[in-house]
């Protein structure tokens, strides 16, 4: 059974609208950094895949390329969400300095 009550009353302290807005800004920035890292990783995958020569055994048609792009996108997103290469984290730390301070 779910209730609307917080189990930890210390965490249930109401926040000011400015604090809520600052928190949303930080969450949006973090997601944007992760999205950028995912796009960067996917472009790395594409560049690396171009270096692999095509062999006659498994020809690459448009549907297999599309499927491979979808797999690469999903893998890149998972890598970015798990902070495996750390690009998003570095970008977030750099850009967080430009956000207004939390109160």
pLDDT tens for 3-47 read 555 555 555 555 666 667 778 888 999 999 999 999 999 999 999
What count of other Cβ atoms lies within 10 Å of the Cβ of residue 80?
Answer: 22
User: Given this model, what pLDDT does residue 89 score?
Assistant: 92
Angle between the N-to-C axes of helices 17-50 and 62-81, in degrees from 0 to 180, rounded to the nearest 10? 140
User: Given this model, what pLDDT does residue 55 score?
Assistant: 76
pLDDT at 1 over 60: no
13: left (phi over 0), alpha (psi -120 to 50) or beta: beta
End-to-end CA separation in angstroms for the chain: 34
Helix residue spans in the chain (DSSP H): 17-50, 62-81, 87-96
Q: What is the mean pLDDT of residues 45-60?
A: 82
C-alpha 101/C-alpha 103 separation (Å) is: 6
pLDDT at 91 over 90: yes
Portion of the chain with pLDDT greater than 90, in percent = 46
**Is 40:75 a contact under the CB 8 Å cutoff?**
no
Question: What's the whole-model pTM score?
Answer: 0.70
pLDDT at 63 over 70: yes
């Amino acid at each position: 059974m779910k209730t609307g009550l917080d189990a930890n009353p210390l965490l249930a302290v109401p926040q000011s609208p400015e604090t809520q807005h600052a928190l949303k800004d930080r969450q949006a920035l973090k997601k944007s950094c992760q999205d950028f890292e995912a796009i960067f990783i996917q472009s790395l995958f594409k560049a690396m895949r171009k270096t692999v020569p095509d062999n006659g055994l498994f020809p690459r048609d448009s549907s297999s390329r599309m499927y491979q792009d979808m797999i690469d996108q999903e893998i890149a997103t998972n890598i970015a969400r798990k902070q495996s290469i750390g690009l998003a984290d570095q970008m977030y730390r750099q850009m967080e300095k430009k956000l207004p301070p939390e109160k």
